Structure 1
Amino acid sequence: MGDLYVTVFDVDEDTLTAPVETAICLLIFSYLDSPSNVKVHLILQESKSGESHVQLAIDVSKPRFHVVQHIPPPASFCSLPVFNLNDSISCVAGLCSVLRQLIKHSGDRWQHLLGFRGACLVACAEISLWTKFCEVDLISCAKSVLNSCPDASETLPDELARLEAHLSQPIRVHNVRKFKDHRHKYAEGPLFLITDLILAVPVFILLEKLQLWSEPSIPLITQWAQFILEDHEFKRHLKQLSFSSCDRKHNWRLPAVSQISLYKRDPTRYKPRHKIFTQQSDIESSLDTLSAVDKIPYGDPFGCEIHLPPDIPVPDVPDKRIERKIQQLSNLAKSTLKVARVGDIVVDFCSGSGHLGFILAHCLPQCTIVLLDNKEKSLDRARQRLIELNFSNVYIVQANLDYYIGKFNVGVSLHACGVATDLVIWKCLQNKASIVVCPCCYGGIQQNHVVTYPQSPEYKESGLSERGYIVLGHCADQAGSEQGEKGMQVVDTDRCLLAVSLGYDVTLAKLVGSALKFLPTKILIFS
């Protein structure tokens, strides 16, 4: 059995009031013939002021629907919707990932909805423009329109213009040459997938709310929507939705947007092959700007005097990497043991298959260890290892950082690439948790939705620009050189000074070990 947890604002015998994400989950659950091995748990919450909602005509007296007040872990660690797997120690958060699990629990008849090699919407919204559009952008647009009808500007939402442009582009799929018609029949190309069902709900809301079914500026959207509703019989499920429409029709204008495919293309995403061109003069200028800011000196790792038990779980890596990997993990594990207390919740961010988390679970049996990653395959390997190791203090969460809302006491991370290290640090700072991180891929630092660079008050006051900061990140990737070492220390000093400004004690240290002696690997410890 799997357990689907969704938010509702009000419950009657045959009607729910709920956010759009819940509507999508329940309508697709209904479309999949209400799979018998999935229980739907309705979590009654008060709606916030101005929060948009829809009504659903659903008979909640059916055995598979349960109104509950308590969410068990690990689902309780994440924002809803969440899917708790039947092993009771794993969950999946994020709308697209949750719906992928729903399909996996729905029998062979529906597995085609996951696409080629089951990879439809497998990439998380943090790295995929397409997943973000399906999971965040279009749904946010529908919520905004539900709250109020557009004003007299009479311009259609940008999200509809982006989808119309996407549908006008040639399909971008595996083995595209075998298809004679390269036009979009469905949202991702020639095949009917879970993407079409997800998008159909907010698109239906927008078309109904704004009375756009005959709108000439979005012919591809209306044609696609009618095809999904009629030919794939989704209309009878969407009829369960109830919301008011705008009073009058407009003479709509379609806003100008980039004519690109949203599928597998993000013009703003960081691409290593398209870095800003960094000249030596740029590096020297950034370093000169920071000349008045003292760098944090390297100290000893917190755990240098701590000894790990000899029977720690050995990481599953090739023999040629095993010595270095064990030394890296030992450094972080020892530092974590120094700051962790009995009963703490320790989150291993970007955990991969759990190499660090399982060592911590072994060394901290009275603490709860959470392995958090957005990669489904990595966590599948972690589940298999957890069965072999038989730990009882480990939870596994497949989710973006944004979707993890649980309280925790210590956050750890080994090799969170580029900006991911800063996202981990900010998540920990928000929770006032101790932090043990080992950064990597400094050249991957880029603009993002959470962090602005530079971060610390001292660096901001120095006048260093964001571009100047990113130049230092590229400089830090000159592995093994004196200048690369200096770039690392400057970037990590900014991270340390940010934590100091928020009341943390900090240590910036190099990892110790014979296999790490000549490698520029650093560890940041905030407590």
Structure 2
Amino acid sequence: MTKNITAHEDTLYLDGEYTEHGQCFKAETQSILLLSSYCSKIQLSLVLVTKVCLNKGQLKNGIQVPDDCFSSIENKLDHEIPSCIRDCRLPAVCSSDQTNIYSGLCTVLRFVLKRAANMSADVGNKSKLLSLLGHRLYCLKACSEVSPRTKMCEIHMPLIVNNALSDTKRNNEIDIPEGIVLFENLMKQPVVIHNMDKRQRVLLQKLDKSIGNEPIKDSLISKKEKQVVWTKDLPQLEHVFAEGVDFSISDICIFPCVHYFLKTTNISLIKDKIPGILKWYKRMKVLPRLKTALFKCGESFLHFENDGGEKLDSHPESNGTEVIELATGENSEDKKDGKKRIEMTIRRDLPALLQKFNLYNIAVEFSKFNEDEILLEWKSFPKELHPIEGELSSLRAMRKCHQIENLAHVVKNIAKEGDRIVDFCSGGGHVGIVLAHLLPNCKIILVENKEESLDRARARISALKLNNITIYQCNLEYFRGSFEIGVALHACGVASDMVVQTCISRKASFVISPCCYGKVRNCHWINYPQSKLFRRIPVLFEESLLLGHAADKTSWNFENKHAVEGKLCMGLVDVDRMNAAKEHGYNTELYTMQPHTCSPKNNMLVGIAPAL
């Protein structure tokens, strides 16, 4: 199935791997195809990127490309697609001028849905589609490092299908994938939504009307007799869909994965372990539009024994406390020795930890620039270049100017003509846009996952007519291109370390100013402490976290006792970061940005990559 791509049209790139059984797509591709079918008409060109080698996985068929959803369809090999797409993880969307790229499952799902809604001439249909993004259109908006829901949808669930595609064997009798475990546990948790009280009172009215028709608990009868029902007395809402009580894009995202799992599993052996998922799947079957979308994708709902027995609106007697145990999980460092950890506190435990660093002669030394040497001529710049054009207050804009001056000074000194410079966690592009103006012969890349921030950046870039900037809306780990310098201004918590690790993996220099030290956490590719020096002492994970929390006890009164202590703790966290970089051959320097009053988080880490 091939149609010619129309020029000047945004293009959707999906992984189009084949197996010996025919066209069998990865989970991410299946989720986007199902959503596209649900939306009916997507004004996007589709490119299925196919690898030369054929897999020999267990997966057979699955969701296919729906007819008449895309304006054009092509199959291409990896080397035939634009380099800007090869520089990121599929799925991805590329603008016609190749200056705006959207990468990652959740980002692309949201893009496709919003594109379909905005292009719909039917106001009612537009409203229904946008409702799939939930309250304030936030559904699947947060990155997987921050949101457990996004992580489940984007990381854990796709493995169910992708492991089968890569020929990973699964024992149907005993092995329940982690994504299924997480989803089942989610369905057993109490619902928490923004308009929860209102929804609970609607449920109470329904329960009141059921008196006389069905037996209900005495406690509910007593509620009916009350003239005033307190919030604490309202009935608990049941998880109906992934996000709570409303069908959303999350349900469409995970459906292909759950569908495949149920299709290839002996349900009779595990049905008592996944009652929430089975009930969810039955609810999905009564959604006409989803049924039609699934049919257009070449699939149909599964039917189980006694499929029509249980009412979908019934309320289980279970209190939801039973949870499937995982063999391994997040924060496993808390359970390695089987001992319950006592949370460390700044008041009780920080003095001993600081003394520990003194005993091992771990010192913090800061360098600083001459303030006059780093100043930029803001008055001579186009007005759109000033941070105040990024919707900052005048005071914040002035501080942002000082912060940018420190980073830009270092980058200008180490950048060479033709270098690719990546502004990670770029926000509205305050640093990257200035660098694009100062270094017109360098290629600047903005990487950010917040839509609103990038909208502001695009407006400023357009006004300045800058032609050396490319924007990637995605998680920073989804950008996979090569570059020479990575920068980040106040990347939050673990994001700062992800930037450093990304730079090290590409053998690129880095210039970053960390933020939110207390929000560090072990994740799938960062573990604390990071350096061999700190591990030899040893510094425990809990102690790294304690340092981070103490580092956040800063204030605008820089002579305050807590601010001085916070500055020391920031330095110690950054010493760990710098030593980890040194172990990879980097020359490093720790600076205090000038003037130091530009931010309480005024540390700046510079790492010069070793010569190749």
TM over 0.5: yes
Q: 5+ unaligned residues in a row in structure 2: which ranges?
A: 1-8, 204-236, 303-319, 333-341
Matching residue of 1:361: 436
SS of the residue 1:28 aligns to: helix
Matching residue of 2:182: 162
Give 1:9 shift: 1.9
Q: How does 1:31-430 map to 2 (within 5 A)?
A: 31-35=38-42, 37-46=43-52, 53-55=59-61, 57-58=64-65, 64-69=72-77, 70-72=80-82, 74-85=84-95, 88-107=98-117, 108=120, 109=125, 110-144=129-163, 147=167, 150-151=170-171, 154-179=174-199, 180-181=202-203, 182-212=237-267, 216-217=271-272, 218-235=274-291, 237-238=293-294, 240=297, 276-289=344-357, 291-295=359-363, 297-301=365-369, 305=373, 308-310=376-378, 311-312=380-381, 313-316=385-388, 317-430=392-505
Alpha carbons of structure 1 residues 45 and 149: separation in structure 2 relative to 1, 3 Å: closer
| Alignment deviations for residues 32-88 of structure 1 (CA, whole Å, 9 cap, x no partner) | 2242x1111111124687767553554899861112343336433310001224563
Which of 19, 27, 39 is the aligned partner of 2:26?
A: 19
Question: 2: distance between equivalents of 1:71 and 1:258?
Answer: 49
SS of the residue 1:493 aligns to: helix
SS of the residue 1:117 aligns to: helix
Q: 5+ unaligned residues in a row in structure 1: which ranges?
A: 246-256
The answer on whether the counterparts of 2:242 and 2:250 sit within 8 Å (CA) in structure 1 is: yes
Give 1:377 shift: 1.4
SS of the residue 1:18 aligns to: coil
The answer on whether the counterparts of 1:351 and 1:373 sit within 8 Å (CA) in structure 2 is: yes
Question: 2: distance between equivalents of 1:402 and 1:514?
Answer: 31
Matching residue of 1:9: 17
Moved more, 78-87 or 194-203: 78-87
The answer on whether the counterparts of 1:15 and 1:59 sit within 8 Å (CA) in structure 2 is: no
Alpha carbons of structure 1 residues 260 and 173: separation in structure 2 relative to 1, 3 Å: farther
Q: Which protein has the larger Cα radius of gyration, Structure 1 or Structure 2?
A: 2
Give 1:158 shift: 4.3
Give 1:177 shift: 2.6
Give me the identity figure in percent. 30
The answer on whether the counterparts of 1:6 and 1:82 sit within 8 Å (CA) in structure 2 is: yes
The answer on whether the counterparts of 1:286 and 1:468 sit within 8 Å (CA) in structure 2 is: no
Matched, 1:511 2:593: yes
| Alignment deviations for residues 446-495 of structure 1 (CA, whole Å, 9 cap, x no partner) | 32222222222222222222222222222323323432232222222222
Alpha carbons of structure 1 residues 292 and 353: separation in structure 2 relative to 1, 3 Å: same
Give 1:340 shift: 1.1
**AA at the equivalent of 1:77:** D
| Alignment deviations for residues 376-410 of structure 1 (CA, whole Å, 9 cap, x no partner) | 21112111222222211111111112211111110
Q: How does 1:441-520 map to 2 (within 5 A)?
A: 441-479=516-554, 480=558, 481-513=563-595, 515-516=597-598, 519=600
**AA at the equivalent of 1:65:** I
The answer on whether the counterparts of 1:134 and 1:198 sit within 8 Å (CA) in structure 2 is: yes
Give 1:515 shift: 4.5
Question: 1: distance between equivalents of 2:98 and 2:504?
Answer: 29
CA RMSD of aligned residues (A): 3.4
Give 1:411 shift: 0.3
**AA at the equivalent of 2:510:** I
SS of the residue 1:66 aligns to: strand
Question: 2: distance between equivalents of 1:63 and 1:490?
Answer: 55
Moved more, 170-179 or 139-148: 139-148
Moved more, 440-449 or 196-205: 440-449
Question: 1: distance between equivalents of 2:64 and 2:605?
Answer: 52
Matching residue of 1:248: none
The answer on whether the counterparts of 1:296 and 1:496 sit within 8 Å (CA) in structure 2 is: no
Matching residue of 2:227: none
Matching residue of 2:221: none
